[in-house]
Chain A
């Protein structure tokens, strides 16, 4: 029987290496070794992803590394969740993330998505060129606490305000924190439209999400 620490370390390393096959193998091995599924997640999968996030911030890892690690982590997570109810796994919360209508730039959003995953959030990426209603409908569907909207052009910035307007018109404004980012977005614009926060970088976006999560937990 392999040592528990060895298995968890192998799991963590496989996530860091973005090796989905190795993560699946190690996850099954961990389960077969009767390691507590919550430990598999909290001492294997999540720390692996967190390490990749930290490497990105040091510019030792990049977007594709993070995406492959996120895929690998999710593969392991899906195996674990089949064994235990999802509520037993402590997650940070769910974020709906997308690029607003008329805009197809998404690299910044993708970086943020990977960093939020690394920080323990569940991220639903609704893609790009997304109308305001679609952000809100997805947030309702998945029980999100945060909506993140990216815009890379001055002409598509209004799409971020559209989300605020849609939330107000449907009486749902108080349910979600709206965080905005992307090239032409500024703190002044975020304040003007009534967004909860503005992130200049993906790293700032994670800090904001954690701040909003804390506010939500104190409610």
Chain B
């Protein structure tokens, strides 16, 4: 079995290669070759394909791709590769169950399957988006934690410390990360869920040093939380990612392989994006020793993943991973539109239905592309969770029809999506409750989904 130290040895002894040569002479030609050999083709009429053979073909192609291409280390300019048998053995013997949280909120995470009757793990919150104040972070996290079926939190990121904008690599980043952790724990306590795991540690920290510093137990995090260790586009790591891993694995903490293949970038179109996304599952197990994969394929032009071709890539790769890998996979949705708009609820429903029917868990969600400060509320992930439970157990063919209907309501508006309202404009900041207008909007869209045949469980 490949150990983490084998990986570290590999990044220092692997084949030397410039980044550009890796991208253009190793990655791209192999991707093109395998997509052709396995005849993986995007079908816009079926954004949620129901073809187990295609999903398994994609996985085979992803395995071949990973074995051939390996993982590139930016700091050493070397490719770390292992042979097919070592990779196969590592995948076969990798753990399949992972525990998160404490006390009443402690829960086991395992892989789902397409059309699974078990509800997905609901990893809910801001998708790491930024808040303008500590008060907003507290109110938002308390709101997320109050969602009945939440299994873990995705916490917002602070942008300032005592009025000073947080700068990556500076002491402010460390202060900001420590504060954000403490505030999130405090808010979870207020909601009566002190044991709820935070699975996007640490959203306020971008550097390894700030992540490791703020992860010290005295600030509030525990090994049963989960840490995002982001790969770089595409199939790349660096000392920062691997250093976080070295620390976290030594502590017995949960590492997340965070992967975001760019549709339009090195991964090419939807077919390449789906294949690369599946290959990341293998990288996550072999290289990062992850407990979960967090995947968010992103459209290079739209900066969201609710466009038709991105949904297809999410669905097909989700199915390939769910049917073949042991590493539990989450899909994270990024909406183009913002709170208090019909569009954000349509987009939410579309990606959640696609992801859940395809066998993945969900992280909900990045709203307004997660670029506008304070433009997100507990309503969107709360609605996502309701849709996720409603979509549990439905056939992919039914999911496909639902998603196509939803796409017809928003896909031509993606480019100029409305940014909607700020948190304080559609929520009561004293009570933490949504405005009457937002509740009416939510009820209207929920009724529309019910009329389409989706049966809400609550």
**Set A62, A67, A158, A184: member contacting B264, Cβ < 8 A:** A62
Encode B296-308 as 1/0 by CB contact (under 8 A) with A. Answer: 0000111100000
Shortest C-beta distance, B163 to chain A (Å), equals 14
The CA-CA distance from A111 to B265 in the complex, in Å, is 7
The CA-CA distance from A183 to B20 in the complex, in Å, is 23
The CA-CA distance from A45 to B302 in the complex, in Å, is 29
Q: Does A156 contact B (CB under 8 A)?
A: yes
**Set A62, A104, A201: member contacting B303, Cβ < 8 A:** A201
The CA-CA distance from A101 to B266 in the complex, in Å, is 23
Assess the B371–A153 pair: CB atoms within 8 A: no
Assess the B232–A104 pair: CB atoms within 8 A: yes
9 contacts across the A-B interface (CB closer than 8 A): A63-B300, A64-B266, A64-B268, A105-B232, A154-B159, A185-B371, A200-B303, A202-B300, A203-B301
Contacts of B24 in A (CB 8 A): 64, 67-68, 71
Shortest C-beta distance, A97 to chain B (Å), equals 15
Interface residues on B, range: 35 or more
Q: Does B173 contact A (CB under 8 A)?
A: yes
Assess the A183–B264 pair: CB atoms within 8 A: no
Contacts of B267 in A (CB 8 A): 62
Assess the A102–B264 pair: CB atoms within 8 A: no
Of chain A, the residue at the smallest CB distance from B230 is A105
Assess the A102–B206 pair: CB atoms within 8 A: yes
Of chain A, the residue at the smallest CB distance from B262 is A107
Give the contacts of B264-309 with A (CB-CB under 8 A): 264-269, 272, 300-303, 309
Given contact pairs A104-B74, A108-B300, A154 touches B265 in the complex (Cβ within 8 A): no
Assess the B266–A155 pair: CB atoms within 8 A: no
> Which of A103, A107, A154 gathers the greatest number of chain B CB atoms within 10 Å?
A154
Encode B166-202 as 1/0 by CB contact (under 8 A) with A. Answer: 1111000100100000000000000000000000000
**Set A56, A103, A154, A186: member contacting B166, Cβ < 8 A:** A154
Assess the A184–B130 pair: CB atoms within 8 A: yes
The CA-CA distance from A156 to B165 in the complex, in Å, is 10
The CA-CA distance from A99 to B159 in the complex, in Å, is 20
Give the contacts of B227-271 with A (CB-CB under 8 A): 232-233, 238, 262, 264-269
Contacts of B371 in A (CB 8 A): 183-186
Residues of B within 8 A of A (CB): 20, 23-24, 27-28, 74, 130, 157, 159, 165-169, 173, 176, 204-207, 232-233, 238, 262, 264-269, 272, 300-303, 309, 369-372
Residues of A within 8 A of B (CB): 56-57, 59, 62-64, 67-68, 71, 101-105, 107-108, 110-111, 153-158, 183-186, 200-203
Shortest C-beta distance, B71 to chain A (Å), equals 16
Given contact pairs A63-B264, A154-B159, A155-B206, A102 touches B167 in the complex (Cβ within 8 A): yes
> Which of A67, A110, A155, A202 gathers the greatest number of chain B CB atoms within 10 Å?
A155
**Set A62, A155, A157, A183: member contacting B265, Cβ < 8 A:** A62
Given contact pairs A156-B206, A186-B371, A201 touches B74 in the complex (Cβ within 8 A): no
Contacts of A153 in B (CB 8 A): 168, 206
The CA-CA distance from A102 to B168 in the complex, in Å, is 6
The CA-CA distance from A153 to B177 in the complex, in Å, is 14
Known: A63-B266, A111-B300. 13 other contacts (CB 8 A): A57-B301, A59-B269, A63-B264, A64-B23, A102-B207, A110-B265, A154-B157, A155-B176, A155-B205, A155-B206, A156-B206, A186-B371, A203-B301
**Set B27, B167, B265, B372: member contacting A186, Cβ < 8 A:** B372
Assess the B303–A59 pair: CB atoms within 8 A: no
Assess the A154–B264 pair: CB atoms within 8 A: no
Shortest C-beta distance, B456 to chain A (Å), equals 33
Shortest C-beta distance, A170 to chain B (Å), equals 21
Shortest C-beta distance, B4 to chain A (Å), equals 22
Shortest C-beta distance, B331 to chain A (Å), equals 18
Contacts of A68 in B (CB 8 A): 24, 28
Assess the B264–A59 pair: CB atoms within 8 A: yes
Contacts of A63 in B (CB 8 A): 262, 264-266, 268, 300
